[in-house]
């Protein structure tokens, strides 16, 4: 064999020669700090010792393989390269790449030592022969040059895109015109030149310009440079093809301690983000900041603009001061090329202008580049349970509707393209425009000759098959309908709300006062606004209140007047709480019109507080011995204070609303433990376990759920508990099934400052935009079909028609924050090869309770298709993927045959499947040989943090606690989180398990409200200049990030905790004000989250209360909150750095 060629000459501008220094010894292991890094259950143990290796040649790549790889490498023409790539032969593709070095194994394991390097002048091919360089240093793995796919001589012809709507001159100006050269250029011609090929005896390792890596210096060991291209975001105009063939490759994990990088040549207009690294001493509990957490991807905050989504930046350093640029869905769809980028992140500030494609506010897909066949999709996730499925998340009523004046159709008002949905009143109400073959509704993607984009058939040219002007220019439109679309007769659902209050609750008086002083006035103002908008039909908005005790259900009657003197308020008692409670009076006789009878309602509430409620409270202490309960004889001697007839109260509300429909609210503080629907204490009993799973075979609650679905009643259950007293079992799991079946809300209030939270939750339910008596339908274009719905709300009904196989979802109510998960799959044969786009259409048939009008809201989403699995990873929407994962966990953990351990293993296995599929599919053979690196897609850089936080969250962690005999979390707490996870939205899915931690500055003038001066009075200009609070950088949730003299704010999605450390001065504690100052501004911004459009629903699932915790005075509460420090090692899992190392070992074992 001829001797290998000598090494290439050094690059111009550098005199450095290859240094053959032996690698330094591996750094010492991390100190234990009293924490256990070896949890029970799933093995995060160090890797087993490797087999003995006496032959150093085994550590190098075989010569034949390299030579074969060199022979297959095609010759590239320097004339077809991008101009930026011709400046230097070392200009590699500009990839958002971060190299992470994993911590070494535990001291009990075996350290993998690198092979001994061969000196340059040792025996070999002579003094001039190029010997094998040393392996990468153990404490610093370097960035690898990105692989380049082999160019092919055959070029595929892209099918023509859908027709673009021609905007009139008088209409709103369209987005910037598409430049054909921006997306028709072949990506392969934009690549940078390949790196120099290694010699046959050179081990595959990271090099710079073909040379061995330089020694580790302070500069390379002090920072991790992430080069991101500004075009990776979502600009106004469609982006040009990136010069990087794999822009989603971002994170690499080495087998050393801490991240390091090799300087790279960034692409033009690239922005470098620097992350400091951890010193070699490891985690130090006395340090002021955790360097290990700062070396990981920074946690994004909700106030960042969507331009920084790919960078994961918070936007500090002036970037947050950028104006909110609008996002055009259709223009981006038609202008994008491979790789396809996802829409703006759901937890960022963004503005969408409807230009013909559905806004991400309405529909989000987990993958925005749809594989054309099932085999390609299976390469994305190597999980046999869901490897051939795709998911979308639909929020059909994310924006309210508005009627477009018929005389002002063009130009279309700006509000109907940004903050409202246009109602098209020009169509026939009995026959809205739709395809006569597949019944898909007309949309902006219809082709020439009236061709349907779903079934590719041409429709006859008539008034019922031609898209209306609004449907041709908008992605979401509404149609007023009647006739066959009316499903409820003789009257539609009425806006009636009934409240049933447990009179045994200690805060019963406060409930009535909050309703009278805060909830009812807000409802009155909202009803008057709706009546002004809908002059023709003024709805009768009615409310009613009843009280429930063990002796019966008390129904207050309206006060009567005689000679202008008001009399005492009377009431009627329904004593039957055992068999069949019913409403003895018509609903109009004991409810009040909020707009015309508000004065009578005020008098009633005053009399209730002064007369009826004290009488009911006095009866609490009376021993109740008249209830015949065959299940328990001891319960007959219990006082009324300990009895709650919640089941009978909910049955009474359903019977009262069966003719009109509406909303029923049950307010209590304990579970129903007497009468109809009595529930046992399953948490403290030994025969019924586990308590976080609902009772599926309860006949009463199953029948109650079916009646709610039939009568179109939304059942809301409010559970108010006192955190200062021991918790009693409420059985949230079983009660939540009634709320889910009727699409009502399960509200759990457990905070000292509960009044504001209680009022805001009730106000939100009665004033939000909602549709009643709903039927939800999803249609897909050729090659796809709907498999099932990924939620437990409503009632899924299979389709019986021949033309469609997708099921229908019947809902009593659909609110502005209702998020529906849909699972899609490929049909036999997959998507036609000639189709470059695939389409998904959602249709929601609902009744507007304020007008009684029946409407059909249609949203059409267009997505690109792809033929390669590697094209799917850059298009992944992480927010949607996290929400789908939470829904799967919520469905999996309540199954009778599953437990918490198997659910945690399922979550980790899915994460490993994605990372393994990425490394096996996207990276070529050269990259796989680098065993010291964990590579993950750019869009999934937060996936390991999300998975580890999910495993440690109260949703999945074990309830046993060695320090206390009380369970943590309680069964009701876990059941509540399961209910919320089953409805998770893309905006808050990550926040549900991974908290946000902020340090509050001492200066009250810090963190001011950012305001901008609007250039004009248009709606778009006002939204782009909308003020917000520039949040500080989010710290990694670790104890090492908590200083003893600082105040922190921790957002756990359901509560805002103000953590006052022990070293904070008393003057600062006394001056602390959660309503004003820097802390007050941050709290207000977090409650608004990323909301930009006021008409849109708040992304948060609940109104978070503010809870102040002093570490010195409330040590028990403070220590319990430390379980949210998910980056640290706990009994539920390892720390984050060790989890990265575990993922790396598992991925390597599967390759």
CA 750 to chain centre: 24
How many CA atoms, within 13 angstroms, populate the side-chain half-sphere of residue 258?
A: 26
Who contacts 651 (Cβ-Cβ below 8 Å, separation ≥6)?
580, 581, 676, 677, 704
CA distance 221 to 230: 26
Phi, psi dihedrals of residue 620, rounded to the nearest 5°:
-60, -40
The partner residues of 562 in beta bridges, in order of sequence, read: 565
The partner residues of 843 in beta bridges, in order of sequence, read: 777, 858
| C-beta of residue 1058 within 8 angstroms of C-beta of residue 1144 | no
**Pairing relationship of beta strands 820-826 and 389-394 according to DSSP bridges:** antiparallel
CA distance 161 to 335: 10
- Please tell me the predicted confidence (pLDDT) of residue 91: 35
Average pLDDT over residues 84-109: 38
Q: What is the DSSP letter of 594?
A: T
CA distance 57 to 201: 9
- Please tell me the predicted confidence (pLDDT) of residue 1009: 82
CA distance 993 to 414: 38
Of the candidates 627, 391, 415, the one whose C-alpha atom is nearest the C-alpha of residue 1095 is 415
Q: Token pair of 869, please?
A: 């699995």
Average pLDDT over residues 534-556: 85
Phi, psi dihedrals of residue 501, rounded to the nearest 5°:
-110, 135
- Please tell me the predicted confidence (pLDDT) of residue 174: 44
CA distance 197 to 148: 12
Is it true that the peptide bond before 1012 is cis, omega within 30 degrees of 0?
no
- Please tell me the predicted confidence (pLDDT) of residue 442: 93
CB atoms within 10 A of CB 75: 5
- Please tell me the predicted confidence (pLDDT) of residue 737: 93
- Please tell me the predicted confidence (pLDDT) of residue 935: 79
Residue that is written with structure tokens 């079983």 in the block: 734
Residue that is written with structure tokens 């897609």 in the block: 937
Q: pLDDT tier at 564 (50, 70, 90 boundaries)?
A: low
- Secondary element (H or E) of residue 1080: helix 1077-1088
The partner residues of 275 in beta bridges, in order of sequence, read: 224
| C-beta of residue 716 within 8 angstroms of C-beta of residue 666 | yes
Q: Which of 242-251, 314-323, 614-623, 754-763 has the lowest mean pLDDT?
A: 242-251
pLDDT tens profile 1016-1044: 788 888 888 888 888 888 999 999 999 99
The partner residues of 574 in beta bridges, in order of sequence, read: 553
Who contacts 1056 (Cβ-Cβ below 8 Å, separation ≥6)?
1049, 1050, 1083, 1086, 1087, 1104, 1105, 1106, 1107
Q: pLDDT tier at 105 (50, 70, 90 boundaries)?
A: very low
What share of the chain has pLDDT > 90, as a percent?
Answer: 39
pLDDT tens profile 1054-1091: 999 999 999 999 999 998 888 888 999 999 999 998 88
- Please tell me the predicted confidence (pLDDT) of residue 620: 54
The angle formed by the CA atoms of residues 854, 712 and 887, to the nearest 5 degrees, is 100
Q: Which of 301-305, 489-493, 826-830, 1013-1017 has the lowest mean pLDDT?
A: 1013-1017
How many CA atoms, within 13 angstroms, populate the side-chain half-sphere of residue 3?
A: 12
Alpha-carbon Rg of the chain, whole angstroms? 32
Q: Token pair of 1010, please?
A: 């950012």
| C-beta of residue 448 within 8 angstroms of C-beta of residue 472 | no
Q: What is the DSSP string of 430-484?
A: SS-SB-TTT-PBP-TT-BTTTB-TTT--BPPSSTTTS--HHHHH-SEEEEEE-GG
- For the chain, counts of helices (H) and of strands (E): 26, 36
CA distance 77 to 86: 11
- Please tell me the predicted confidence (pLDDT) of residue 1104: 95
Average pLDDT over residues 484-509: 90
Of the candidates 1095, 1084, 1098, 1051, the one whose C-alpha atom is nearest the C-alpha of residue 819 is 1098
pLDDT tens profile 397-409: 999 998 877 655 5
- Given a cut of 80, is residue 247 above it in pLDDT? no
**Pairing relationship of beta strands 476-481 and 853-866 according to DSSP bridges:** antiparallel
Q: pLDDT tier at 921 (50, 70, 90 boundaries)?
A: confident
- Please tell me the predicted confidence (pLDDT) of residue 920: 83
Q: pLDDT tier at 121 (50, 70, 90 boundaries)?
A: very low
- Please tell me the predicted confidence (pLDDT) of residue 306: 67
- Given a cut of 50, is residue 134 above it in pLDDT? no
Q: pLDDT tier at 27 (50, 70, 90 boundaries)?
A: low
SS3 996: strand
- Please give the residue that has the higher pLDDT: either 223 or 905: 905
- Please tell me the predicted confidence (pLDDT) of residue 296: 74
Q: Mark out the alpha helices in 659-730 (DSSP H runs).
A: 699-711
pLDDT tens profile 281-308: 333 333 333 334 445 788 888 888 765 5
- Given a cut of 80, is residue 535 above it in pLDDT? no
Average pLDDT over residues 161-172: 41
Average pLDDT over residues 40-63: 42
Is it true that the peptide bond before 490 is cis, omega within 30 degrees of 0?
yes
- Please tell me the predicted confidence (pLDDT) of residue 501: 94
Q: Which of 813-822, 886-895, 961-970 has the lowest mean pLDDT?
A: 961-970
Q: Which of 249-258, 314-323, 402-411, 1046-1055 has the lowest mean pLDDT?
A: 249-258
- Please tell me the predicted confidence (pLDDT) of residue 783: 92
pLDDT tens profile 201-225: 333 333 333 333 333 333 333 332 2
- Secondary element (H or E) of residue 1047: strand 1047-1051
Is it true that the peptide bond before 776 is cis, omega within 30 degrees of 0?
no
Q: pLDDT tier at 531 (50, 70, 90 boundaries)?
A: confident
CA distance 773 to 908: 40
What share of the chain has pLDDT > 70, as a percent?
Answer: 66
Q: Token pair of 483, please?
A: 């006739």
- Given a cut of 80, is residue 271 above it in pLDDT? no
- Secondary element (H or E) of residue 846: strand 837-848
- Given a cut of 60, is residue 909 above it in pLDDT? yes
Q: What is the mean pLDDT of the chain?
A: 74
| C-beta of residue 1139 within 8 angstroms of C-beta of residue 943 | no
- Please tell me the predicted confidence (pLDDT) of residue 638: 55
What global pTM score does this model have? 0.76
Of the candidates 525, 521, 527, the one whose C-alpha atom is nearest the C-alpha of residue 495 is 527
The angle formed by the CA atoms of residues 342, 345 and 348, to the nearest 5 degrees, is 155
pLDDT tens profile 719-748: 999 887 778 899 999 999 999 999 999 999
How many CA atoms, within 13 angstroms, populate the side-chain half-sphere of residue 395?
A: 26
- Please tell me the predicted confidence (pLDDT) of residue 744: 94
- Given a cut of 90, is residue 924 above it in pLDDT? no
- Given a cut of 50, is residue 991 above it in pLDDT? yes
CA 665 to chain centre: 28
- Given a cut of 60, is residue 1144 above it in pLDDT? yes
SS3 774: strand
Q: What is the dihedral of CA 767, 768, 769, 770, to 10 degrees?
A: -90
pLDDT tens profile 433-462: 999 999 999 999 998 888 999 999 998 877
| C-beta of residue 712 within 8 angstroms of C-beta of residue 661 | yes
CB atoms within 10 A of CB 723: 12
- Given a cut of 50, is residue 643 above it in pLDDT? yes
pLDDT tens profile 1112-1137: 898 888 998 999 999 999 888 889 99
């Amino acid at each position: 064999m001829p001797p290998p060629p000598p090494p290439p000459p050094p690059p111009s501008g550098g005199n450095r020669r290859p240094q053959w220094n032996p690698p330094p010894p591996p750094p010492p292991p991390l100190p234990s700090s009293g924490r256990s890094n070896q949890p029970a259950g799933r093995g995060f143990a160090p890797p087993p010792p490797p087999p003995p290796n006496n032959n150093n040649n085994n550590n190098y790549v075989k010569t034949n393989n390299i030579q074969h790889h060199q022979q297959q490498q095609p010759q590239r023409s320097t004339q077809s390269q991008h101009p930026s790539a011709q400046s230097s032969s070392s200009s590699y593709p500009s990839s958002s790449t971060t190299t992470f070095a994993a911590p070494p194994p535990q001291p009990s394991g075996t350290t993998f030592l690198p092979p001994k390097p061969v000196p340059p002048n040792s025996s070999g091919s002579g003094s001039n022969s190029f010997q094998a360089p040393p392996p990468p240093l153990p404490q610093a793995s370097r960035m690898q040059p990105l692989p380049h796919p082999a160019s092919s001589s055959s070029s595929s012809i892209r099918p023509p895109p859908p027709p673009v709507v021609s905007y009139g001159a008088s209409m709103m100006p369209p987005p910037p015109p598409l430049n054909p050269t921006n997306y028709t250029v072949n990506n392969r011609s934009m690549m940078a030149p390949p790196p120099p090929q290694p010699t046959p005896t050179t081990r595959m390792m990271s090099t710079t310009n073909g040379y061995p890596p330089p020694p580790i210096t302070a500069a390379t060991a002090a920072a991790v440079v992430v080069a991101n291209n500004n075009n990776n975001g979502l600009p106004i105009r469609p982006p040009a093809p990136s010069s990087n063939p794999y822009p989603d490759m971002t994170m690499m994990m080495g087998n050393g301690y801490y991240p390091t990088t090799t300087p790279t040549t960034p692409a033009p207009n690239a922005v470098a983000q620097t992350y400091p690294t951890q010193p070699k001493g490891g985690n130090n509990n006395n340090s002021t900041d955790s360097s290990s957490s700062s070396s990981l991807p920074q946690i994004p905050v909700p106030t960042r603009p969507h331009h920084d989504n790919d960078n994961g930046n918070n936007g500090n350093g002036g970037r947050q001061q950028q104006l909110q640029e609008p996002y055009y869905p259709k223009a981006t769809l038609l202008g994008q090329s491979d790789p396809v980028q996802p829409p703006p992140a759901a937890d960022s500030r963004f503005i969408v202008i409807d230009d013909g494609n559905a806004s991400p506010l309405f529909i989000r897909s987990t993958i925005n580049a749809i594989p054309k066949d099932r085999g390609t999709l299976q390469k994305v996730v190597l999980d046999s349970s869901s490897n051939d499925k795709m998911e979308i998340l639909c929020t059909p009523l994310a924006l309210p509707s508005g009627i477009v004046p018929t005389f002002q159709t063009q130009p279309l008002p700006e509000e109907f393209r940004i903050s409202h949905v246009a109602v098209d009143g020009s169509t026939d109400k009995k026959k809205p425009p739709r395809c006569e073959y597949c019944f898909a509704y007309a949309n902006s993607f219809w082709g020439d000759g009236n061709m349907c984009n779903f079934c590719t058939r041409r429709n006859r040219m008539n008034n019922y098959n031609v898209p209306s002007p609004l449907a041709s220019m908008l992605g979401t439109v509404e149609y007023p309908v009647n006739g066959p679309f009316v499903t409820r007769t003789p009257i539609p659902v009425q806006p009636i709300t009934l409240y049933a209050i447990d009179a045994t609750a200690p805060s019963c008086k406060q409930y009535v006062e909050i309703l009278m002083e805060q909830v009812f006035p807000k409802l009155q103002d909202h009803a008057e606004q709706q009546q002004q908008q809908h002059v023709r039909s003024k709805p009768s908005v009615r409310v009613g209140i009843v009280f429930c005790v063990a002796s019966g259900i008390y129904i207050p009657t309206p006060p009567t007047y005689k000679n202008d003197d008001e009399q005492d308020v009377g009431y009627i008692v329904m004593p039957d709480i055992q068999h069949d409670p019913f409403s003895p009076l018509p609903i109009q006789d004991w409810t009040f019109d909020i707009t015309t009878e508000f004065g009578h309602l005020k008098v009633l509430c005053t009399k209730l507080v002064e007369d009826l409620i004290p009488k009911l409270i006095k009866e609490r202490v009376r021993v109740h011995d008249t209830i015949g309960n065959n299940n328990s004889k001891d319960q007959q001697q219990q006082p009324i204070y300990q009895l709650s007839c919640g089941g009978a109260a909910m049955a009474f509300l359903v019977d009262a609303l069966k003719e009109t429909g509406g909303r029923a609210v049950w307010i209590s503080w304990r579970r129903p433990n007497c009468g109809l629907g009595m529930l046992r204490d399953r948490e403290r009993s030994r025969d019924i376990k586990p308590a976080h799973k609902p009772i599926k075979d309860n006949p009463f609650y199953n029948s109650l759920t079916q009646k709610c679905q039939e009568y179109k009643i939304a059942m809301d259950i409010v559970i108010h508990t006192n955190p200062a007293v021991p918790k009693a079992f409420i059985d949230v799991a079983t009660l939540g099934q009634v709320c889910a079946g009727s699409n009502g809300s399960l509200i759990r209030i457990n905070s000292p400052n509960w009044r504001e939270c209680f009022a805001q939750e009730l106000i939100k339910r009665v004033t939000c935009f909602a549709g009643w008596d709903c039927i939800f339908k999803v249609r897909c274009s050729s090659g796809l079909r709907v498999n099932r719905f990924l939620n437990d709300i409503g009632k899924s009904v299979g389709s019986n028609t021949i033309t469609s196989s997708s099921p229908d979802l019947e809902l009593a109510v659909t609110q502005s924050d209702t998020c529906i998960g849909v699972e899609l799959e490929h049909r036999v044969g997959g998507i036609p090869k000639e189709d470059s786009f695939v389409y998904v259409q959602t249709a929601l048939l609902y009744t507007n309770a304020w007008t009684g009008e029946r409407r059909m809201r249609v949203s059409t989403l267009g997505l690109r298709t792809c033929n390669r699995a590697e094209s799917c990873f850059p298009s992944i929407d992480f927010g949607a993927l996290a929400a789908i994962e939470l829904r799967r966990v919520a469905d999996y953990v309540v199954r009778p045959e599953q437990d918490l351990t198997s659910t945690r293993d399922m979550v980790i296995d899915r994460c490993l499947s994605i990372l393994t599929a990425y490394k096996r599919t996207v990276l070529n053979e050269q990259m796989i040989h680098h065993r010291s690196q964990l590579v993950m897609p750019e869009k999934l850089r937060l996936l390991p943090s999300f998975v580890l936080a999910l495993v440690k969250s109260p949703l999945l962690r074990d309830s046993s606690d060695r320090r206390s005999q009380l369970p943590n979390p309680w069964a009701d707490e876990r059941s509540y989180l399961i209910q919320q996870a089953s409805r998770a939205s893309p905006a808050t899915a990550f926040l549900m398990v991974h908290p946000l931690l902020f340090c509050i500055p001492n200066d009250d003038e810090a963190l001011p409200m950012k305001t901008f001066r609007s250039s004009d009075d248009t709606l778009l200009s006002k939204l782009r200049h909308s003020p917000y609070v520039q949040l500080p950088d989010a710290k990694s949730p670790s104890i090492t990030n908590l200083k003893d003299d600082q105040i922190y704010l921790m957002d756990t999605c359901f509560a805002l905790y103000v953590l006052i450390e022990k070293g904070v001065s008393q003057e600062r504690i006394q001056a602390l004000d959660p309503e004003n100052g820097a802390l007050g501004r941050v709290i207000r911004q977090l409650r608004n989250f990323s909301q930009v459009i006021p008409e849109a629903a708040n992304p948060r699932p609940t109104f978070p209360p503010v809870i102040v915790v002093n570490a010195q005075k409330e040590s028990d509460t403070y220590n319990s909150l430390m379980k949210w420090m998910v980056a640290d090692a706990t009994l539920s899992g390892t720390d984050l750095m060790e989890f990265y190392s575990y993922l790396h070992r598992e991925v390597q074992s599967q390759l």
